[in-house]
Amino acid sequence: MAATLASGCGSATVAELPPAAAPPPAPPAADAPAGEVVPLEDWTGTVPATPRPGTPVSLRDGRLTVAVLPRERAVEIRDGQTGRRLSRVSAGVGPTQVACRDTGPCYVLDTRGDGLLVLVVSDDGRDARISRRVYLRGGPSAVALDEERARIWVTAPGRNELSELPAHGRPRVLRRLPTVRGPYAVAVDAPTGAVLVTGRAAGLLQRVTP
């Protein structure tokens, strides 16, 4: 009892929590990257930006926002107009990023836990739950959602790998493609469906056609 009283109720401030999960180091590339590869300095189009953990995304035409709380290992849903918190749910052991279809579901990267979590949010945002977990080895660290083609693209720097999954409630890996070393950012060109991956370790951009 004395030990319990000394330690308090077990709660901690955000500053006292473990740091946010970081992408794993990238090993040397073992396979030739899929698609076209060009030096970043020679690329004239949009370059995918390395995502910041915890960046909120919109849901339900902006009526809701969804954000990962990396240090608290949780996802929070807020009112898109007032910012008031509506619900919160635990999300793995090291969540970093989230992407949402406009009507749901949302997809959370558990970077430290090597997983993609499917997050189901009620229409009013007051109820949220993790309905499924997909194992994605290599520390998934960046995600891009192709709403038009209903696809999710996830990079795994620990394996220099890009995974394609269907964007519905029960996603599974459709294929894995080798990438440039250190695929720390990914984006989709909406008109063409081409997937753009940047390799921070090598200063390269990879373009994969659908």
Per-residue pLDDT, 1:
39
Model confidence, pTM = 0.89
Pairwise CA distance, residues 135 & 209, whole Å: 24
Query: Residue 69: phi, psi to the nearest 5?
Result: -105, 90
pLDDT band at 11 (very low <50, low <70, confident <90, very high): low
User: How confident is residue 9, by pLDDT bands cut at 50, 70 and 90?
Assistant: very low
Is pLDDT above 90 for 3? no
pLDDT at 6: 38
Query: What is the model's pLDDT at position 20?
Result: 82
116: phi then psi, degrees, rounded to nearest 5: -115, 120
Q: Has residue 208 got a pLDDT over 60?
A: yes
Asked if 95 contacts 111 with a C-beta cutoff of 8 angstroms, the reply is yes
Exposure string of 182-209, with b = 16+ CB inside 10 Å and e = fewer, is: bbbbbbbbeeeebbbbbbbbbebbbbbe
List Cβ neighbours of 33 (8 Å cut-off, separation of 6 or more).
177, 178, 179, 180, 204, 206
Task: Name the average pLDDT for the chain.
Answer: 90
Q: What confidence tens digit (pLDDT) does each residue in 128-156 have?
A: 999 999 999 999 999 999 999 999 999 99
- C-alpha span between 146 and 56 (Å, rounded): 18
96: nearest Cα among 121, 114, 122: 114
The reported pLDDT for the residue numbered 51 is 72
Burial class of residue 27, CB neighbours in 10 A (0-12, 13-18, 19+): middle
Contact 111, 140 (CB under 8 A): yes
As a dihedral over the C-alpha atoms of residue 21, residue 61, residue 167, residue 34, rounded to 10 degrees, the angle is -70
Structure tokens belonging to residue 196 = 């753009």
Among candidate residues 130, 25, 122, 26, the one with its CA nearest the CA of residue 68: 130
Task: Please name the helix (run of DSSP H) or strand (run of DSSP E) that holds residue 83, with its range, or none.
Answer: none
| Banded pLDDT at 4 (limits 50, 70, 90) | very low
Is pLDDT at 77 greater than 80 in this prediction?
yes
